[in-house]
Structure 1
Amino acid sequence: MRSLIGIAGGLSWQKFLAFVLKGYTLERSYRPNFWARYIEAFTGLVFVYFLGRLFSTPPAAVAAYGVDYFTFALVGTVFSQYLNTVLRQFALGLREEMLTGTIEPLLVTVTHPSLALLGGAFWALLEGLVILALQLLAGWLLGARFLGANWPTLVITIALSLVCLSAWGIASAAFVLIFKKGDPIAWLVSGTTYIFGGVYFPVSILPRWLQVVAYALPVTHALEAIRGALLQGLSLGQLGRPLLALLAFTVVLLPVSLALFRYATHRARQDGSLAHY
């Protein structure tokens, strides 16, 4: 809890913008990689479009959402990609700081240590939202329809999903600080998302025992709530089950992940391995 209060108290608009500007400047300096992300995003969109062409009549489980298969898969694809970015970016940003040797200079500033080490992810999370919006716009131009969308509920749902997946991402970053390797947490969650998370097909078609696995993933609840708000226009009250599940994940995981990250930072400082990779 002290870590959470320290991060919240130490984050001002000036610091947030400084982290964002730093991330943008670094990424913009590698122009091929910068533009490759946008090309990749729209390549994936074309794939989903032609996949949707295979289903002129959507399966019954998809038709229950009141949309065609392209719209259903589009929402699952773009939002799962963004949530996986949230999940992975804290660890990726931290590894980048390790490789460039900038961790120790960051920690001698007046910025809270956790914020200093995790702030490098801010640009990627913001850029991910921009890419997501562009993908939805392009999908709409290709025929996807979001008639009756409940936009206020969608915004709240995305915000809660972002905080929930950030908890997993912070735990992943703690793993990197301790073991100096790619972490299994992000791999486990993101690697199972496309099978069990309801990205390309509704979770309801899975066998009962696999649905138990699916609903153990926060992404499953996030996509269910996002589709409910965007495709069916459901209100917060009508999305009570998935939103309460996300809230439960957040209440449990966020304090634990911040405590774990604080422990990892303290341990790395004590054994002198903070800048090692």
Structure 2
Amino acid sequence: MSDLTLHRGISVHRIGAMILRYWYLLMSSWPRLLELLYWPAMQIITWGFIQHYIALNANFFARAGGTLIGAVILWDILFRGQLGFSISFLEEMWARNLGNLMMSPLKPIEFLLSLMVMSLIRLAIGVIPMTLLALVLFHFNFYALGLPLIAFFCNLIFTSWSVGIFVSGLVLRNGLGAESIVWTLMFAIMPLACIYYPVSVLPVWLQYVAWALPPTYVFEGMRALLIENTFRIDLMLDALAINAVLLVASFWAFLALLRSAKNNGSLLSGGE
């Protein structure tokens, strides 16, 4: 049977084979599945009770009900989208299998596309139960955001892929000694993304940095939707434009780091 190919010879079969590999790996390990469900559930329960307390004791938060829970869910989409991408990549590093993949007919773009699909699968496993918990325990219907939710989700997942591709390239070039960046980089972005507070809270000079990050536009858009019942499409378009630049830059960086890893021999070692 001939291999189904797309533009520039990208093989759908090879991408599908990689997705199946990660799917079987995920399904064969109950601790991996438990981890996907545990942390989102803990976050939504913890922050849900915090919001419930604030709603009972502050008029503003009572009026802006749902902003904290909504922010937690959107943050989890951003963080777990990146983590789902990077964990699948690290599985290859831990198994010392990356060199074998790079010597196979698998193209780097096919490898990255398979990691993107797996990040969506892992994200769905964790976030869907999280949204159902928010609905049952705190009567917050995340899906009632409607069509704006699509814009929020797309911009956050694009950002998570950009970060995931970039940090995967760094680990590829520098070995598992750089693994910690997979877990920490997104948390470094967290204060500047203004997840739980508006951009105006930041010092003026730091606001310019915040507006350079696509998630900032998403969380500002969420607050405008929940508090003012206004969908800020201008914010979503600005975020999409920045995300387009970041995705192209991350692909370029990954390919450059891959070439550097091949030239320096770190592709096969992958150690500390």
TM over 0.5: yes
| Residue 271 (structure 2) pairs with residue 274 (structure 1) | no
| Residue 236 (structure 2) pairs with residue 239 (structure 1) | no
CA distance in 1, matches of 2:48, 2:180: 33
CA distance in 1, matches of 2:268, 2:145: 46
| Residue 165 (structure 2) pairs with residue 166 (structure 1) | no
Specify the alignment match of 1:114 in structure 2. Answer: 109
CA contact under 8 A between 2:88 and 2:118: conserved in structure 1?
Answer: no
What is the deviation of 1:128? Answer: 0.9
Q: Deviations over 1:51-96 (max 9, x none)?
A: 1132115453x56xx541xx21111112212211223444433332
CA contact under 8 A between 1:45 and 1:74: conserved in structure 2?
Answer: yes
- In the TM superposition, 1:196-275 aligns within 5 A as 196-228=192-224, 234-235=230-231, 238-240=232-234, 242-275=235-268
CA distance in 2, matches of 1:257, 1:214: 19
182-191 or 44-53, larger mean C-alpha shift: 182-191
CA contact under 8 A between 1:76 and 1:223: conserved in structure 2?
Answer: yes
Residues 185 and 96 (structure 1 numbering): CA distance in 2 closer, same or farther, change over 3 Å? closer
Which of 78, 82, 85 is matched with 2:80 structurally?
85
Specify the alignment match of 2:122 in structure 1. Answer: 127
Number of residues of Structure 1 aligned to a counterpart in Structure 2: 262
CA contact under 8 A between 1:83 and 1:162: conserved in structure 2?
Answer: yes
The aligned amino acid for 1:45 is I
CA distance in 1, matches of 2:263, 2:179: 22
CA distance in 2, matches of 1:185, 1:37: 16
| Secondary structure of the corresponding residue to residue 139 of structure 2 | coil
| Residue 35 (structure 2) pairs with residue 39 (structure 1) | no
CA distance in 2, matches of 1:89, 1:82: 10
Q: Deviations over 1:198-219 (max 9, x none)?
A: 3333333344344334333322
CA distance in 2, matches of 1:172, 1:255: 14
Specify the alignment match of 1:190 in structure 2. Answer: 187
What is the deviation of 1:44? Answer: 1.6
Residues 227 and 85 (structure 1 numbering): CA distance in 2 closer, same or farther, change over 3 Å? same
The aligned amino acid for 2:40 is A
Q: Considering only aligned residues, what root-mean-square deviation do their CA atoms show, in Å?
A: 3.1
Question: Which ranges of structure 1 fall in alignment gaps of 5 or more residues?
Answer: 1-5
| Secondary structure of the corresponding residue to residue 266 of structure 2 | coil
What is the deviation of 1:220? Answer: 1.7
| Secondary structure of the corresponding residue to residue 33 of structure 1 | helix
Specify the alignment match of 1:21 in structure 2. Answer: 20
CA distance in 1, matches of 2:78, 2:263: 33
Specify the alignment match of 2:3 in structure 1. Answer: none
- In the TM superposition, 1:136-147 aligns within 5 A as 136-146=131-141
What is the deviation of 1:47? Answer: 0.6
The aligned amino acid for 1:39 is Y
The aligned amino acid for 2:35 is A
| Secondary structure of the corresponding residue to residue 274 of structure 1 | helix
148-157 or 260-269, larger mean C-alpha shift: 148-157
CA contact under 8 A between 2:214 and 2:243: conserved in structure 1?
Answer: no
Q: Deviations over 1:95-121 (max 9, x none)?
A: 321221221332243332232256345
Q: Deviations over 1:170-212 (max 9, x none)?
A: 111111111121364873442341x332333333334434433
Specify the alignment match of 2:10 in structure 1. Answer: 10
CA distance in 1, matches of 2:122, 2:7: 22
Question: Which ranges of structure 2 fall in alignment gaps of 5 or more residues?
Answer: 1-5
Specify the alignment match of 1:3 in structure 2. Answer: none
The aligned amino acid for 1:19 is M
Instruction: Give the TM-score, by structure 2 length.
Output: 0.80
Q: Deviations over 1:238-265 (max 9, x none)?
A: 321x213312322322222111111111
CA contact under 8 A between 2:82 and 2:119: conserved in structure 1?
Answer: no
What is the deviation of 1:227? Answer: 4.8
CA distance in 1, matches of 2:35, 2:161: 24
